[in-house]
Amino acid sequence: MEKQYKELLNKISAGHYCVMLSYLDNKNKTMIKKEIITQKDVEGNVHKLPQEILDRMIISLETGKIQIMEGGENTTIIIEPFNSKPRLIVFGGGHISKPLTEFATRVGFSVTVVDDRPSFANIGRFPEVDEVICDSFESTLEKIKFRKTDFVAIVTRGHRYDGVILREVVKHDLAYVGMIGSRRRVKGMIKQLLEEGYAQERLDRVNAPIGLDIAAISPDEIAISIVAQMIDRKNRDRIDKNGKKFTISEFDPGVIEKVYEPSPLPKALITIISAKGSVPRKAGAKMIAYYDGKTIGSIGGGCSEADILTKARDIMLDKGFAIEHVDMTGDVAESEGMVCGGVMDVLIEVF
């Protein structure tokens, strides 16, 4: 099944919202198959799936929650939603961009930095980002394929450059656009763009001056205010989607990459598929366990994780799966010294 996980990462890296369907044979404890389906294909029912499965996929996409359903005799279907890692494009590589990219990557953004100066646009200055583009802003704007999920921060060294970038990015329907500048300068630029025929609605969505008003002064403080505003936009839009609360899963692309990475040892992918109450990590959290005891990632640590790892090692030579129930409530938690008070179900898949 490794290739399906590689396909999954490719799709979410391209900006797709997807679901993964895992079909489990409960009798033989084997994985029958996995399917990766994008939201667009779900909405069009391109794969001609039964209505019951289609309905549960739609619920999963709308709520961000894993769905578990019976798929026929001795078969269980697990429907897991995956959202693309939001991309932040930072125009300008100056003193604010440095802490901005560091904080943004820490909270889960895929970051691209654009500047036309080699001394500012280089991987040595921004080692944590995914891409650094050293080119004119005009040329870069012609080449970038903007996505609806993109976040854009305009923090260049000059008001003229800000205007060039803003004129282009407001033509696109983006998740977030923020521009640095004083209120007077921002007001003047918005007025000019309105006179040029740009829509008021698009300009109203520009966060300018950029960032939350926390009386920030230093570059680090300004960067924190910007990242906080982007987090608010990213999470609040999901929570309010279709009037339903959206659960943001604990998806770690780095763990998924290890699934399809060749290994001489048997390994297991461990996923929390449901969680209730006070648990250390939510549904969607994953980790990799190898036969020699090495692990990557975590589903919460402690005695409960240790028990799951023991079970995973027990079945690693069988190339099957297991679903384990972990109880961290009442007497069970007290006897194990746990501070949590919830329950979770964990899927162990051996590769």
**Of 82-91, 150-159, 205-214, 247-256, which gets the smallest average pLDDT?**
247-256
Question: What does pLDDT average to over the chain?
Answer: 90
Q: Could you give the CA distance from residue 316 to residue 289 in angstroms, rounded to a whole number?
A: 9
- My answer on whether 226 and 294 are in the same domain is no
pLDDT at 193: 93
Q: Give a yes or no: residue 168 inside a domain.
A: yes
List pLDDT tens digits, range 1-14.
788 999 998 988 78
* Residues β-bridged to residue 77: 23, 69
Q: Mark which of 239, 263, 295 sits at the end of a domain.
A: 239
- My answer on whether 202 and 112 are in the same domain is yes
Q: Domain with 97 in it: what CATH number?
A: 3.40.50.720
Length of the chain: 351
pLDDT at residue 111 tops 90: yes
| Domain around 258 | 249-351
% of the chain surpassing 70 pLDDT: 93
- H or E segment and range at residue 160: helix 159-169
- My answer on whether 105 and 53 are in the same domain is no
Band (172; pLDDT cuts 50, 70, 90): very high
| Pairing state between β 151-154 and 321-327 | unpaired
pLDDT at 112: 97
Burial (CB count within 10 angstroms: exposed 0-12, middle 13-18, buried 19+), residue 122: middle
- My answer on whether 202 and 92 are in the same domain is yes
pLDDT at residue 249 tops 80: no
Q: Mark which of 52, 83, 114 sits at the end of a domain.
A: 83
User: Which has more confidence, 79 or 72?
Assistant: 79
Distances (CA, A) of 134 to 85, 114, 188, 323: 23, 6, 29, 49
pLDDT at 229: 97
Name the token pair of 183.
Answer: 């209120």
Angle at 206 between CA 202 and CA 212, to 5 degrees: 150
pLDDT at residue 95 tops 60: yes
Q: Mark which of 211, 239, 267 sits at the end of a domain.
A: 239
pLDDT at residue 292 tops 80: yes
Q: Give a yes or no: residue 244 inside a domain.
A: no
- My answer on whether 92 and 229 are in the same domain is yes
- My answer on whether 105 and 230 are in the same domain is yes
List pLDDT tens digits, range 302-337.
878 999 999 999 999 888 899 999 987 754 455 555
Domain total of the chain: 3
pLDDT at residue 240 tops 70: no
- My answer on whether 280 and 136 are in the same domain is no
Q: Give a yes or no: residue 106 inside a domain.
A: yes
Contacts for 268 with CB less than 8 Å, ≥ 6 apart: 288, 289, 312, 313, 315, 316, 348, 349, 350, 351
- My answer on whether 146 and 222 are in the same domain is yes
